[in-house]
Structure formats: structure tokens, C-alpha cells
Amino acid sequence: MNERLANQPPYPMVRLEEWRQEIAERGVQLYDFGTGDPREPTPALLRQAMIDAVPEVSQYPASVGVPALREAAAGYLQRRFGVEIDPATEVLPTFGSKEAIFHLPMTFVQIPGDGAASAKDTVVYGEPAYPVYEIGALFAGAKTHAVTLGVDNGYAMDPDGLPDSLLQRAAIVYLNYPHNPTGFLLAPKMYEKWVTARERFGFVLVSDECYVDLHYEGDAPRSLLEFGREGCLVLHSLSKRSGMTGYRSGFLAGDAKLVSTYRRFRASMGTTPQEFVQAAAAVAWTDTEHVEARRAVFVKKREVLLAALVERGLRVHGSTAGLYLWVEVPDDTTDTDYAARLREVGILVAPGSFFGEGQERFVRLALVPTVEECREVAAAWPRR
């Protein structure tokens, strides 16, 4: 076994599966707020688009993706953020954003022993974080640096305060707003600071924007591409926005030079989404009605849960966008103890410590159960 695989600690979210089973064995109704995989049906329009596109003969897809999807992605970025992207050179379809995150370090990290011209060997990300930023970096042989984020500064990644020596060695810096797990946004001035820092230190600045269309309160989430292009990439996904987690479809866009480098890597790897999935994806990026309809469902779930949590005297931080509620646990308990207490009444949540160090005061609820189930949970939520 590859040492890097052997050294991987178990993915914390696998604990959720054990807890699901425990709840089932007790014969208690399960309310599963654990994993961010909503159960609302994929819109009929998108399912049909895929079915219609399944050809009699299906050949290898081109690694650069089908033009219709690249054009739809560019159209989406134009409408949503006012950003002009060349569909021929600045967009690349991916299998959702997870695999792109996993593979980016293999493309952009330079390991000194490999004869690299410079020592850009470190991947930087905020913590708590989606775990694949770290895992992808480790498999690429990179060093990792997790910047500890906290509730006091709204979980904001800020280049000020990071040593020059770190940014000098950074091959990739990840931003992720709306942030998983907290649902905080990043202020525009902070994006500007990152673009300036990138110009100075020359790392690849990657913004994971997979929750950007799920927004409930305050200013709409922004895209990094509104602030900079050179050295910048954004990752978008249909998983949460369009209810297409199982289709595995997203795209990467930004600096043409970086896109070209990444295309070169992907051509050897042979990972390009099936063309019939890409056809459905082109429809999904063009249509906004289904996104609004889905968002309205999350709005309702969020409303019902927020009212119940506040009524119980709990504080919810961030959570103005994305798919999650980031809930501070009562003073006399910890994330794991509180999660255990919730499981007694069938409510499954992810403890904050699953997402990084220093998050033991929080639990994360993914807005996955139905509105009706959220109403039941609102009634059943423990009073202390």
C-alpha cells in the first residue's frame, strides 16, 4: 500500500454511518442532518436532458469537455457575477468539485527533489475545512498549512498575519466561501487582499464556490473572478445548486494559462464527465428557475430550524449561505457530548471537531431532512 494512503487517518464522517446504525438499532426515527447530500428530487428538466442525450454509440469524451457545457458555464458566470470568460480557453468541466480539488495539487505543486525550479510545495487552506484540500495535497507529496479560523473573525481567511515565508512557498491557497461548515461569507476587501498577495507571491489562488447560489440573508456571495483573473481559478458544482450530487458535475474556470496546464494533466488522467451528463449540466447552468425553487425549500427548512434553536437559547453563527447551520453548543457541554444527546432523540449532526481543531464548541446541521421532518425536529429538540 502507498505510504500516503496507509498514513491517512479514517475520514471522520464515517463515524456518522456508525451512529446512523445505532439509531436504527434502537428503533428511533432518524433525522439525518449529518452529510450535505440533500434528498430533494433532481429537477425533471435536468433528468430528461440527460436521458435525451444518451447516444446509441457512446465514445470517449474529449478531455476539454463539450463546447455546449463550456458555453453554458461561461454564460452562468456572466449572468451571475458579470464576469466574462472565454469558453474555449478558460473553462474546464470536472466530475464535481471534489475530484478537481483532489487533483489540483498534482498539477501545481512543485516538489524540490523532483527538480522543480522553485520550492512551491505547500498547500494552504482555512480550518475548519472540507477535508479534501488537505488529502489532495498529501497525496501530491505537498506540505500542508491549515490556517486556524474562528468565530471571532467570522471564519475569514486573511493573508495579513501569515508569514511571507509561508506565502512564498505556497503552491495553492484555497478560499471557500460560502464556507463549509459555517456558512460565513468573505468580505470583498478580503478577496482584494488575496489577489494582491497572490500578485506578490505567485501562488495559484483557488476559490471553491460550490455553495455560491444557496444564499438566504444579507449580501449575495461573490466570486473570486470578480476581483482577479491572473493566477486565479474558481470551482463550481451542480451538486448542491441543482440537486445533482450523483451526476458528479462541476467546472473549473479562470486564468487561461492555468486552465491550459490543468487540461494537460487531465488529458493523461482520462477523467472527463460523460457527455450525456455534460449535456444535462449545460441545461442546469442555463436555467435559474430550478435553483430558485430549491433555494426556497432550504429557506423553509432553515426558518423552521432557526426558530426552534433560538427558542432553546442556542446561538447560530454564520449560516447566511450554504447548506449548513453552525450551532454553538450549550456552555456545559462539548460538540461530541451534545451530538450524543441529540442522537438520543434521533437527531444526527456532525460535531464541529470533525472539521478541524478548536471547533469543539459547535455542531453542524446539514439542511437535508424534509421541511416536515424539520418541523418534527423543531418540536423534539432537547430543552437542555
Ligand X SMILES: Cc1ncc(COP(=O)(O)O)c(C=O)c1O
DSSP 141-206: T-EEEEEE--GGGTT---STTS-HHHHHHEEEEEE-SSPTTT-----HHHHHHHHHHHHHH--EEE
Contacts 24+ apart (CB under 8 A), 7-15: 7/138, 8/135, 8/138, 11/131, 12/131, 12/353, 12/354, 12/355, 13/350, 13/354, 15/354
- Pick the binder of ligand X from 42, 97, 320, 353 (CB under 6 A): 97
- Pick the binder of ligand X from 87, 105, 231, 250 (CB under 6 A): 250
Round to whole Å and give the CA distance between 325 and 327: 6
Round to whole Å and give the CA distance between 23 and 30: 7
User: Residue 74 CB, nearest distance to ligand X (Å)?
Assistant: 19
Told to check if 96 binds ligand X by CB under 6 A, we report yes
How many angstroms separate the Cα of 63 from the Cα of each of 102, 194, 268, 269, 354?
17, 31, 9, 9, 35
Told to check if 245 binds ligand X by CB under 6 A, we report yes
Q: Which is nearer to ligand X, 131 or 346 (CB)?
A: 131
Q: Which is nearer to ligand X, 99 or 255 (CB)?
A: 99
Residue nearest ligand X, CB atom distance = 96
**Binding window for ligand X (CB under 6 A); candidates: 96-104, 283-291, 303-311, 312-320:** 96-104
User: Residue 36 CB, nearest distance to ligand X (Å)?
Assistant: 5
**Binding window for ligand X (CB under 6 A); candidates: 47-55, 59-67, 94-102, 216-224:** 94-102
Round to whole Å and give the CA distance between 99 and 107: 13
Interface of this chain with ligand X, residues 16 to 55, rule: CB under 6 A: 36
- Pick the binder of ligand X from 80, 98, 103, 302 (CB under 6 A): 98
Told to check if 278 binds ligand X by CB under 6 A, we report no
Are 316 and 325 within 8 A, CB to CB?
yes
Round to whole Å and give the CA distance between 343 and 28: 9
**Binding window for ligand X (CB under 6 A); candidates: 95-103, 139-147, 273-281, 295-303:** 95-103
User: Residue 277 CB, nearest distance to ligand X (Å)?
Assistant: 13
User: Residue 116 CB, nearest distance to ligand X (Å)?
Assistant: 27
User: Residue 210 CB, nearest distance to ligand X (Å)?
Assistant: 5
Told to check if 130 binds ligand X by CB under 6 A, we report yes
Q: Which residue intervals of the chain are DSSP H helices?
A: 3-6, 14-25, 44-53, 67-81, 96-108, 132-139, 164-169, 188-201, 256-269, 275-286, 289-311, 335-344, 371-380
Interface of this chain with ligand X, residues 168 to 187, rule: CB under 6 A: 176, 180
Round to whole Å and give the CA distance between 42 and 195: 36
User: Residue 279 CB, nearest distance to ligand X (Å)?
Assistant: 18
**Binding window for ligand X (CB under 6 A); candidates: 26-34, 91-99, 198-206, 371-379:** 91-99
Contact letters for ligand X, residues 207-226 (x by CB under 6 A):
-x-x----------------
Determine which helix (DSSP H) or strand (DSSP E) holds 32, and give its type and residue range. strand 31-32
Q: What angle do CA 306, 18, 335 make, to 5 degrees?
A: 40
Told to check if 122 binds ligand X by CB under 6 A, we report no
User: Residue 250 CB, nearest distance to ligand X (Å)?
Assistant: 5
Which residues of the shown chain bind ligand X in the complex (CB under 6 A)? 36, 96-98, 130, 176, 180, 208, 210, 237, 239, 245, 250
